[in-house]
Amino acid sequence: MISFQKKTIFFEYFSSLIFIVGCLYPLILFSYDFSKENEIKKYLQYAQQQEHFDIHQKSIIKSLQSILYFISERNSSNVKIREYQKIIDDFPCTILQLHREYSNICNQSINIYKNLSTHELKQKLFQINNQLTDFSKQLKQEQDYIYSINESLILLLKQQTTAKNILNNLAQQHTLSIINRNTPIEEAKFIALQAEQVDKQLKVAELELAQLSANNHKELSQLRTVLLKKKYKYVDNEPQILRNKLNYLCQHESKQPIKYSEKILSEQNNTLPKSIIKQIQTNHDLSITLNQQAHYITSIISKQQEATSYTLQVRQTFANLLEQAQWLDKSPALGETLRSQVSKLPKMPKFQQLDHDMAQLRAKRLQCENQLNKLTLISSQSKQDDGSSLTLLQKHILEKKLIIQRNLITALLDNYDTQILELTKLKISYEQLKEALQDIQKATHRHLFWVADVHPITISYPLDIYHDLYRLLTANKFDHQIIYVLKMIFSNQKTLILIILCFIASIGFHFTAQRHYQEFLNRSSKKIGKVNQDNFLLTLYNIWYSMLIALPIPILWAIIGHTLNHAWLYPISVEISDEINATTFILWVFIVGVYFAFPKGLFIIHFGWPKKRVQQVFSHHYIWAVVTVVFLIMMLTIFNNYNDREFSNTLGRLCFILLCIYLTFITNNLKCSGLPLYLNKYDSSDNIINYSLWNFMICAPIIAAISCILGYLFAAQALLARLETSLFIWIMLLIIYHIIRRWTSIQRRRIAFERAKQKRVTQLNLRAYNNESNAYQLQTNKLVSNDKSNKKILDLDTISTQSLQLIRSIITLIALLLTTLLWSELYSAFSFLENITLWDVTSTIKGVDNIQPITLNSFIISVLVIVITTKTVRNLPAFLELTFLQHLDLTPGTGYAITTLTKYILMFLGGIIGCSLIGIEWTKIQWLVAALGVGLGFGLQEIFANFISGLIILFEKPIRIGDTVTISNLTGNITRINTRATIITDWNHKEIIVPNKEFITKQFINWSLSDTLTRVVLRVPAPLQTDTKKIVQILLQIVKNSSLALNTPPPEVYLVDLQQGLPIFEIRMHISDIKLRMPLCHQIHMLIIEYYQNNGLKLPYIPIYSYNNQLFVNNFDSNYPNANYYTTK
C-alpha cells in the first residue's frame, strides 16, 4: 500500500514536470523572437486543457497570456508607427499642394454674372450661400481639430513620461531577472518581462512619432484654415454682386407697373372710374412694398454676413487663446494682448426681436393671400361711378391691372417666404455667434483669469502715474474734449433748456417732498408700538416715500449722462456718459439708505435698531464716502475701457487701490455698527460665523489691493466686484427679513391684545356673580373653552417662532441662489480646482475597473451638499407645517410622522450624494454596512430594537403627538417621538423618557387613539329613608345640568349595591376629553353636596373597611392608575 502511494506521488510529480518543460520549451526557443504567436497560442491551449493545476502551472499560464497580450500590443504599435511615419513622409508634398491651391485662388478673378435672368440669379445666389455655409462648417471643424491636437499634445507629453518611467523600471527588473533564472517559473517570468520591455520600447517610439505627426497635423490644419478663409473671402464677394443685380432687376420690374399706370392715366385724360383708379393705386403701393422688401432682404443678408464674420473672428481668437495658453505664465504682456483681443470682440447678440419679426411677416403673408383670393371678385363687382357697367376698353384695362396685381402679390408672397427663411438663417447665425462667445468667455476665465495681466508695481510707479496723467491731459487733448463737449451742450438750446428745467423741477420736488416726508415721519413715529394705532402699512409707506424722495438727484445725474452721450464724436464724453448711467442705481441706493436712517425712519423706529449704531454708519462722513466711492468706480471703469485700456495699468490701478482702502474702512464701520451677516436659531448675531464673515469681508479689499499690486488687476477687480455685490444682496435681504419680522410682530401683538381683552371680560363677568355655584359654573365653562383654545394658543406661539426660522431659511436660500447666479460666470475660472487631485478611487463600470480621481472641486461640492442638507433638515418641520400640513386635515401625529420620515429620507439622500462625490459609493460600503449591522446587532441590539420600534411607531401610529397614554403606571401626554425614545409629560409636568420598544412589545392604554370620548363612573351613597326613584331623577338632572358631561351618549344612574343597609348609586356619564375628568367629578360632587344640604339630608357614613373593600377590590375596570373614581373607555 505504501509503495502504491509512492508510485502515485512520483507519477504526479513526473507529469507536472513534463507539463512545465513542454510549456516552457517553446518559450526558450522563441525567447528573443516574438513572431511565433501561433505556436505560443497552441501551447497555451494545450496547457489550459489540463484538468488540475497547481500554483506553478497557473503562474506559467499567466506568463503565457501576458506574452500574448504584449505581442498584440506590439503589433498595434507597429501599425501606428507605420501610419505616423507615412504622415511625416508625405508632409512636404501636402504642404506644397496646399500652397499651390492658395496661389491658384489668389490668381482667380471675380465673376461678373452678366446676362442672367432673375430666376438664374436666385439659383446662383442660393448655391453660393450653401457654399459659404459649407466653408463655415469646414472652418469650425478645422478649429475644433486644432483644439483637439493641442489637447492631445499635452496628453502625449504625460504619456511619454509615464512610458519612459515604466521602461526604466522594466530595465531594472530585467537586470535582476537575468541573475535569477534557476527555475522554469522564473524563466517564464523573464521571457514575459522581455516581451513587456519590447512592447514599451515600441510604445515610446510610437508616442514620439505621434507627437511629431501631431505637430505636422497641426501645421497642415492651420494651412487648411488659411486656405478655407481665402476661399470664403473670395466667394463672399460674389453674393453682393448677385444681390445688386437682383435688386436692379426687381426694381426695374416693379417700376414697369407704375410707368404703365401713368401711361394709361395720361391716355384716358383721367376719365377712368374710381374702381380702376383704386386698382392702379393698389398696384403702385404693391410695387413700393416689393421694392422695400428687396432692400429688407438685402439688409438681412448683410446682417448674416456680419454675424458669420464675427463668428469666424471669435473662433480665430478662441484658437489663438488656446494655442498661447501654455505661455501665459511667462509674460504678462501676452495675457494683456489676449485680453485686448477678447475685449474687441462683438457683444452677445440679442435675437429675441427676430421671432417677433417673423410673426409679423407671417401675418402680412396671410393678408396677401386673402387679397389674392379676392381678385376674382373684383372684375365682376367693378362698375362706373354712376353704377353702370364698364366699357370694353375699361374692362380690358381692369383685367391687365388685375393680372399685374396678381403677379405683384405672388412676388410679395415669394419675398415673404424668402424673408422668413433669411430671418431663420440669421437667427441660426446669431446662435452660432452666441455659442462661440460663450466658449471664448469660458476659455478666458479658465486660462486668463488667474494670470497676471499687468506688471507688478515697482519704485517707478509714481513716475508712471505722472507721465500717464500728463499724457491724458495733453497728448489726448482731454481738456479740449471736455471744453468742446460743454460748448456743444450749452450751444444746443433744447438740451440746455431740458437740463435747466430738470434741475429746477428736481430742486423744487426735493424741498417740497422733504417737508411732507418729515411730517409723515412725525405722525407715523407716534403710532409705532401702539397696538390700536400701529399698522404694517406705515412701514410700507415709509419705504415707498423714502424711495420716491431719493429720486431727484439720481434722475438729474442720469440726465447729465444722457446729455453727454449725444456728444459721440468725443470718446471721453461717451465713456463718462456710460459710467454715469452705470452708477445711477448705486447713487440712488446710497441716498435711500440715508432716508431709512433718519431718527424717525425705518431703521430706528420700525426695526428698533439702536440709534447710536445707525448714526455711526450714516454720520456726516457718509456723504463724502458716497461721493468718493461713486467717483472712484466711475474713474476705474473709464480707465479700463478708454482707448484700449491705455491707462488701466497706472491710473486705473491707482483708482482701484484707493477704492479698496475706502471699502475696507466702510466695511469695518458696518461691522462696528452691529449689522448681522448671519443669525443663529435664537435670532442673534453674536456667533462665530457672523464674526468670521465680517472679518473676511474686511480682509477681502486688502487682499484685492495686494493682488492688484502684484499684477493680478483683472482677477482682483472681478472677484471684489462680485464679493461686494454679494454683500449688497445680503443687506437687501436682511432689510426684507426685518420688514417681514415687523409684520409678524404686529400680528402677534394684535392677537395678544385680543386675548387680553377677552381675559379681562371674563374676569369682570366672574366678579359679577356672587353665587358660588354660578361662579363655579362660569369658571368651568371658561376651563372648557380655554382647554379647547389652549392648544391653538400654544401652536400659535410655536409656529410664530418657527415662522421666523423658516423666513431666515428662505432668505438664506434666496441669497444662495442669487449669489450662485452672480458667480456662475466665473465658474470656469475655478476649473483649476479640478486639477488638484486629493486621492484616487477605483470604480467598476460594466466589469471594467476605472480609476476616478477625487479633486478638490468634488470635495468642496460634497461639503456644500452636506451643509445644505443639514440646513434643510433642520428647518424642514417649520417649512412643511406652514406651507402644506396646516392646509391638510391631518392629526398632529400624522404630520409629525410625515416630517420625521421626510427628514430621514433627505438625510439619507444627502449623505449618499455627498459620499458619492468623494468616491464613497454605496456599492463599496454596502457590505461594510451589512457587516457592521450584524456586529452592532449583537452588541447594541437594544438600541437597534428601539430604532426599529421608532420607525414602526411612525408608520403604524399607535401613539401620536398629543395622545394621552398610560404605560407601566405612568400617565401623561406624548410630547415628542424621537429615534430611540419617546418623551411623555405627566400631570406634574415631569418629562418621562420611555424607550420606543415598550410601546411595541408591551401593553399600554391610549386614551385618545381613535376617539377622545371617555366614560366617568361615580358611586354616591344615599340615606336609607329617601325615595330611591327621586334620588335617581335628581342625580340625572344634576348630570344633565353639568356643562362638562355630554348628552350623547346619555348619562345613566343605577342602584348597584347595598352596603350596611345603605343604597349605593352609580352615575355613568361621558366626557369629550380625559383632561375634563377631574373638573367634572368636582362639579358633580359639589352639586350633590349642595342638594343634600338644601334638603336637610345627611351624607351617610360608610365604614372604611367596607367602603375600601368594595371600592378597591373592583379597582375600576378602566385600569386607570391612582384614581378614586371609575373612568372607562
Residue 491 pLDDT grade (very low, low, confident, very high; cuts 50, 70, 90): low
Residue whose C-alpha cell is 470604480 = 843
Q: In this structure, what C-alpha cell is assigned to residue 842? A: 477605483
- Range picked from 455-469, 673-687, 837-851 for highest mean pLDDT: 455-469
Instruction: Name which residue leads in pLDDT, 366 or 872.
Output: 366
Long-range CB pairs of 287-290, under 8 A, 24+ apart, other chains included: 287/254, 287/255, 287/257, 287/258, 287/408, 288/254, 289/412, 290/250, 290/254, 290/408, 290/411, 290/412, 290/415
At 344, phi and psi to the nearest 5? Answer: -85, -5
Do strands 1014-1021 and 1005-1006 pair parallel, antiparallel, or not at all (unpaired)?
A: unpaired
User: Which among 414, 563, 432 has a CA at the least distance from the CA of 487?
Assistant: 563
Q: What is the C-alpha R_g of the chain?
A: 47
How far is the C-alpha of 995 from the C-alpha of 678, rounded, in Å? 37
First to last CA, the chain: 88
Q: In this structure, what C-alpha cell is assigned to residue 239? A: 453674393
In-domain check, residue 1064: yes
Question: Is residue 573 within 8 Å of residue 564, measured between CB atoms?
Answer: yes
Instruction: Name which residue leads in pLDDT, 1027 or 269.
Output: 1027
* Residues 321 and 235 reside in one and the same domain: no
At 547, phi and psi to the nearest 5? Answer: -70, -35
CA distances in angstroms from 934 to 911, 979, 1012, listed in the order given: 21, 20, 43
At 87, phi and psi to the nearest 5? Answer: -65, -45
| Domain boundary pick from 196, 222, 239 | 239
Which helix (H) or strand (E) element contains residue 842? Answer: strand 837-845
In-domain check, residue 1075: yes
Q: In this structure, what C-alpha cell is assigned to residue 683? A: 435670532
Residue 38 pLDDT grade (very low, low, confident, very high; cuts 50, 70, 90): low
* Average pLDDT score over residue span 648-655: 88
Complete DSSP assignment for 1030-1055: HHHHHHHHHHHH-SSS-SSSPPEEEE
Longest alpha-carbon distance in the chain: 144
CA distances in angstroms from 459 to 520, 652, 702, 712, listed in the order given: 58, 17, 20, 18
How far is the C-alpha of 1108 from the C-alpha of 1110, rounded, in Å? 5
Average pLDDT, the chain: 75
Beta-carbon contacts of 342 under 8 Å, excluding residues fewer than 6 positions away, are: 317, 321, 440, 444, 448
**How many folded domains does the chain comprise?**
5
* Residues 1096 and 949 reside in one and the same domain: no
Residue 1118 pLDDT grade (very low, low, confident, very high; cuts 50, 70, 90): very low
Judged by DSSP in three states, 884 sits in coil
Instruction: For residue range 704-713, list pLDDT tens digits in order.
Output: 999 999 888 8
* Residues 845 and 866 reside in one and the same domain: yes
556 pLDDT more than 80: yes
In-domain check, residue 1033: yes
Residue 683's CB is within 10 A of a number of other CB atoms, namely: 13
Residue 485 pLDDT grade (very low, low, confident, very high; cuts 50, 70, 90): low
Instruction: For residue range 723-740, list pLDDT tens digits in order.
Output: 999 999 988 988 998 888
* Average pLDDT score over residue span 270-292: 76
How far is the C-alpha of 974 from the C-alpha of 997, rounded, in Å? 15
- Cis peptide leading into residue 1021 (ω within 30°): no
In-domain check, residue 217: yes
CA distances in angstroms from 784 to 340, 419, 1034, 1043, 1076, listed in the order given: 81, 80, 24, 9, 8
953 pLDDT more than 90: no
* Residues 436 and 478 reside in one and the same domain: no
User: Which among 619, 612, 493 has a CA at the least distance from the CA of 563?
Assistant: 493
In-domain check, residue 172: yes
Q: Based on the number of CB atoms within 10 Å of its own CB, is 748 exposed (0-12), middle (13-18) or buried (19 or more)?
A: middle
* Residues 999 and 1039 reside in one and the same domain: no
How far is the C-alpha of 874 from the C-alpha of 868, rounded, in Å? 10
- Give 1076's Cβ-side CA count (13 Å radius): 28
Instruction: Name which residue leads in pLDDT, 778 or 724.
Output: 724
CA distances in angstroms from 285 to 255, 375, 381, listed in the order given: 11, 16, 21
Do strands 1052-1059 and 1062-1071 pair parallel, antiparallel, or not at all (unpaired)?
A: antiparallel
CATH of the domain at 1067: 3.30.70.100
Query: Would you state the pLDDT for residue 931?
Result: 66
Which helix (H) or strand (E) element contains residue 390? Answer: none
Q: Which residues pair with 1054 in a beta bridge?
A: 1066
Instruction: Name which residue leads in pLDDT, 1104 or 598.
Output: 598
What distance lies between CA 491 and its chain's CA centroid? 52
| Domain boundary pick from 961, 982, 1005 | 1005
* Residues 174 and 71 reside in one and the same domain: yes
* Average pLDDT score over residue span 505-510: 80
Q: Of 191-195, 556-560, 1044-1048, which gets the smallest average pLDDT? A: 191-195
Q: In this structure, what C-alpha cell is assigned to residue 219? A: 501645421
Residue whose C-alpha cell is 385618545 = 1008
Judged by DSSP in three states, 1063 sits in strand
How far is the C-alpha of 657 from the C-alpha of 651, rounded, in Å? 10
541 pLDDT more than 70: yes
- Give 684's Cβ-side CA count (13 Å radius): 4
* Residues 670 and 536 reside in one and the same domain: yes
How far is the C-alpha of 669 from the C-alpha of 701, rounded, in Å? 14
Instruction: For residue range 212-237, list pLDDT tens digits in order.
Output: 777 777 778 778 888 887 777 777 76
* Residues 886 and 941 reside in one and the same domain: yes
How far is the C-alpha of 957 from the C-alpha of 951, rounded, in Å? 9
Cα-based angle 82, 87, 92 (whole degrees, multiple of 5): 140
How far is the C-alpha of 989 from the C-alpha of 1000, rounded, in Å? 25
Q: In this structure, what C-alpha cell is assigned to residue 52? A: 488540475
Q: Which domain holds residue 440?
A: 268-447
* Residues 143 and 184 reside in one and the same domain: yes
Q: Of 192-196, 585-589, 1017-1021, which gets the smallest average pLDDT? A: 192-196
In-domain check, residue 750: no
Question: Is residue 184 within 8 Å of residue 20, measured between CB atoms?
Answer: yes
Judged by DSSP in three states, 838 sits in strand
In-domain check, residue 255: no
Question: Is residue 519 within 8 Å of residue 480, measured between CB atoms?
Answer: no
* Residues 432 and 504 reside in one and the same domain: no
Query: Would you state the pLDDT for residue 703?
Result: 93
Beta-carbon contacts of 168 under 8 Å, excluding residues fewer than 6 positions away, are: none
Query: Would you state the pLDDT for residue 258?
Result: 60
355 pLDDT more than 80: yes
| Domain boundary pick from 412, 447, 482 | 447
Query: Would you state the pLDDT for residue 846?
Result: 53
Q: In this structure, what C-alpha cell is assigned to residue 37? A: 504567436
In-domain check, residue 28: yes
Instruction: For residue range 404-455, list pLDDT tens digits in order.
Output: 778 888 888 888 888 888 888 888 888 888 888 888 888 887 778 888 878 8
* Residues 318 and 230 reside in one and the same domain: no
Question: Is residue 147 within 8 Å of residue 214, measured between CB atoms?
Answer: no
1122 pLDDT more than 50: no
* Residues 406 and 469 reside in one and the same domain: no
Complete DSSP assignment for 92-125: HHHHHHHHHHHHHHHHPPPP---S--HHHHHHHH
Instruction: For residue range 785-824, list pLDDT tens digits in order.
Output: 444 444 434 445 555 666 677 777 778 878 888 888 888 7
Residue 181 pLDDT grade (very low, low, confident, very high; cuts 50, 70, 90): low
Query: Would you state the pLDDT for residue 1121?
Result: 40
